[in-house]
Structure 1
């Protein structure tokens, strides 16, 4: 049975969204294509009608996850507001709905070029968001360097915080350490 282009596009978007969540939760290698398609409510056999490979899907899912995160963060009026959401306990405990950088950086480093490119583009957008929220002092190069450092600190703090048990005091201490100048309450 053939489906319309519109339905095919909706299916593709559903696969991207579900895959982005599952990849952030379990990693690229922790999810089989059959599991991704089942979670999207589709059959395994239809996968290659939408994506030429799992790597192509991983790249598309990263693009989608970073785009969704950017849309959520677009309304941030200050760096503190952005950090409060990014470095929240809720984000630590729900990686499937949070930034893909802390969840997938290590796997992406060993991934296909298209996956690494999608990751880089997502990070570029996040760095740009942070740069926009920085005070208007310093030249462009300095602001860019500072924004990149803040993003690295944010993602690193979240990654390390997730690596220890939630109930361990270090988990919240690491979230708080992700704030520039040591601000934050970890929650």
Structure 2
């Protein structure tokens, strides 16, 4: 098999990062092996170390990639409600606390999905720094004239984690509904 072009190598790397971002949010960073990552990306296990120094290096990149999802949601909400920041905020809250978001951990918010991994990981890692900055930015976006957004963020993330944990029971939908009412009041 011949060498891949620089463009193909870049595309392969991007595919691995995107796949890792989804798998880490769905299964946790410890729950996914390098072989699993490469299989999900449609590449061979041997190619991993040509692209990444270690799994930790991939965790760093995949965490940053996951937070682009959150940025895209905010951008979409702002565009959908241009000139009305309160409506944009409510739009995002409605999606965040929806059954669809609850049921899509792989494509969902990294703040909720990666919280446990970040609490167990090295506090000085690039992934931890990216995560912390993502939390700050999300809270700032949720802030109102009356508060800094941290309580609302905590409510959103906590509700999503709990709703996912009891998914399949009516309590899951009740948690989402109660959190939505609390944050929007």
Deviation at 1:181, TM superposition (A): 3.1
Q: 1:104 aligns with which of 98, 114, 131?
A: 114
> Is the partner of 1:3 in helix, strand or coil?
coil
| Conserved? CA contact 2:25–2:114, under 8 Å | yes
Query: Any stretches of 5+ residues in structure 2 without a counterpart?
Result: 82-87
Matches within 5 A, 1:167-186: 168-179=169-180, 181=182, 183=184
| Conserved? CA contact 1:157–1:175, under 8 Å | yes
Number of positions where the alignment pairs a residue of Structure 1 with one of Structure 2: 173
Deviation at 1:130, TM superposition (A): 2.1
Q: Are residues 68 and 181 of structure 1, via their aligned partners in 2, closer, same or farther at CA, if it must alter by over 3 Å?
A: closer
Indicate the residue corresponding to 1:151 in structure 2: 153
Deviation at 1:22, TM superposition (A): 0.8
Taking structure 2 as the reference length, the TM-score comes to 0.85
Matches within 5 A, 1:67-146: 67-76=68-77, 77=81, 78-112=88-122, 113-131=125-143, 134=144, 137-138=145-146, 143=147, 145=148
Indicate the residue corresponding to 2:43 in structure 1: 42
Q: Are residues 180 and 70 of structure 1, via their aligned partners in 2, closer, same or farther at CA, if it must alter by over 3 Å?
A: farther
For the aligned residue pairs, the C-alpha RMSD in angstroms reads 1.8
Taking structure 1 as the reference length, the TM-score comes to 0.84
Q: 2:167 aligns with which of 157, 165, 168?
A: 165
| Conserved? CA contact 1:20–1:64, under 8 Å | yes
Matched, 1:62 2:63: yes
